Amino acid sequence: MIINRLHAREVLDSRGRPTIEVEVFTTDGHYGRASVPSGASTGRHEAVELRDGDKSRYGGLGVRRAVEAVRGPIADAMIGQDVREQSTIDELLCQLDGTQNKGRLGANALLGVSLACAHAAAAVTGIPLWKYLGGERCRMPLPMVNMISGGLHAGGNLDLQDFLFLPIHASTYSEALETTCAVYRSLAGVLKKHGHEGALVGDEGGYGPKLSSSEQAIELLLEAYRSAGIEAAIALDVAATHFYRDGRYYLQEGGGRVVESGWMVERLVRWCNAYPIRSIEDGLAEDDFEGWLELTQRLPKVQLIGDDLFVTNPQRLIMGIDRGLANAVLVKVNQIGTLTETWRVLTLAREANYRAIVSARSGETEDSTLADLAVASGAGQIKIGSVARSERLAKYNQLLRIEEHGLPFAQWVER
């Protein structure tokens, strides 16, 4: 069970950008491997992803420095550790880096090691990762699935980043997936009918048509639900941080206008009255606490998720809980950089009665650790992107494998 070798390499993610992959070997001949995801609409408070900055390779996005960190100082510290001691390993990683934001060795280097150790530990123990990490809480998550992409994820002109389908009436995970694919197919027909044939897909596999407004995207999605005969439930990821500057929101839709936080809140309230919206992520920017408080008070029955707001950071989440901001947290392993800290956020959320949604990034690989983590934590929801592109399907398919073990399914419960 003792770590005797660490290896790291540069591989490519779903956008053709370098990312780090780590392998951990133990004295008894077991090993674990993990590769690290990467975001596009990143929050200011996220842990730092170390990139080479050498413009002559991959436009400066190479991760050779992170690879060197694993092969050098991190390997030196890890060799001799018991691979099953995840919290000791993660603490050592944080100490070794020594910074608040993990910018010295890189959160990408640290996370690769942290997750590869978990895989190696599961291998040593001879049980699947979800079972090794989980316990009584294991359950199949409800997926929240990207259908139309805007914002920084697609070439369209929508301010909002994701328009998602929530299969709230499904009673099993595989039924949820089947319904999702029916909506995805139906939406292709609806887009074609409205003259958006050949709309390319965005980074997460959702369609990226050129539409005139977010309302239009919502209407098209509702039409797809109707023609597939599926009862509607919509989730939005506004990703508002990305059009927020100096206390104001800069909207592009409708010729461009600059609005205040109160206007954003009013619009979301209006949309929730007009449309079957059950969940809104990052309806306001990461540091617009006043706006977040107002939104949370105005929409108590809607799931309000903090992504850039909390950045999977225990301190940020505690701050938000204390101030009464949002009622759910998006959980992305690479926003914080170790498994133990991710776990802490999941525990804090549960204790505060905040919902947790385990999430992929827009840049992913075939690594499906996320699926195991979602099941093991019992979080109840998962956000992977759409049902197209193999880096997304790697996770959906892993969940189908896990489902065969007969775990309970986390059905949607109204707030």
Partner touching 39 among Zn ion, ligand PGA, none, CB below 5 to 8 Å by kind: ligand PGA
The residue within the footprint of ligand PGA, chosen from 35, 41, 303, 342 (CB under 6 A), is: 41
Q: Which is nearer to ligand PGA, 179 or 334 (CB)?
A: 334
Q: Which is nearer to ligand PGA, 97 or 391 (CB)?
A: 391
CB of 154 to ligand PGA, least distance (A): 11
The residue within the footprint of ligand PGA, chosen from 186, 362, 365, 398 (CB under 6 A), is: 362
End-to-end CA distance of the chain: 44
Q: Which is nearer to Zn ion, 90 or 237 (CB)?
A: 237
Q: How far apart are CA 193 and CA 207, in angstroms?
A: 14
Q: How far apart are CA 315 and CA 322, in angstroms?
A: 11
Q: Which is nearer to ligand PGA, 51 or 84 (CB)?
A: 51
CB of 237 to Zn ion, least distance (A): 4
> Of the ranges 35-43, 107-115, 313-321, 349-357, which one interacts with ligand PGA (CB under 6 A)?
35-43
Binding interface with Zn ion (CB under 5 A): 237, 239, 281, 307
Question: Is 281 marked active-site?
Answer: no
Strand 277-281 with 244-245, pairing: unpaired
Q: Is residue 280 within the footprint of ligand PGA (CB under 6 A)?
A: no
Q: How far is CA 363 from CA 42, 360, 390, in A?
A: 11, 8, 12
CB of 384 to Zn ion, least distance (A): 13
CB of 282 to Zn ion, least distance (A): 5
Contact 300, 326 (CB under 8 A): no
The residue within the footprint of ligand PGA, chosen from 52, 90, 307, 367 (CB under 6 A), is: 307
CB of 41 to ligand PGA, least distance (A): 4
**Which candidate in 21, 23, 49, 204 is catalytic?**
204
Partner touching 51 among Zn ion, ligand PGA, none, CB below 5 to 8 Å by kind: none
Partner touching 278 among ligand PGA, Zn ion, none, CB below 5 to 8 Å by kind: none
- 9 phi and psi, to 5 degrees? -150, 160
Question: Residue 151, Cα to own-chain centre: how many angstroms?
Answer: 16
Question: Is 332 marked active-site?
Answer: yes
Q: Is residue 392 within the footprint of ligand PGA (CB under 6 A)?
A: no
**Which candidate in 253, 294, 332, 391 is catalytic?**
332
CB of 46 to ligand PGA, least distance (A): 9
- The closest alpha carbon to 224, from 155, 147, 294, 280, belongs to 147
The residue within the footprint of ligand PGA, chosen from 12, 40, 259, 318 (CB under 6 A), is: 40
The residue within the footprint of ligand PGA, chosen from 42, 313, 369, 377 (CB under 6 A), is: 42
CB of 207 to ligand PGA, least distance (A): 17
The residue within the footprint of ligand PGA, chosen from 33, 45, 361, 392 (CB under 6 A), is: 361
Partner touching 362 among Zn ion, ligand PGA, none, CB below 5 to 8 Å by kind: ligand PGA
What the block records as the tokens of 148 is 């139309």
CB of 152 to ligand PGA, least distance (A): 6
- The closest alpha carbon to 280, from 342, 207, 214, belongs to 214
Q: Is residue 365 within the footprint of ligand PGA (CB under 6 A)?
A: no
Binding string, residues 230-249; x marks residues near ligand PGA by CB under 6 A:
-------x-x----------
User: Beta-carbon neighbour count of residue 275 at 10 Å?
Assistant: 17
Q: Which residues pair with 257 in a beta bridge?
A: 251
Contacts of ligand PGA in 155-194 (CB under 6 A): 161
**Residues at the interface with ligand PGA (CB under 6 A):** 39-42, 161, 237, 239, 307, 359, 361-362
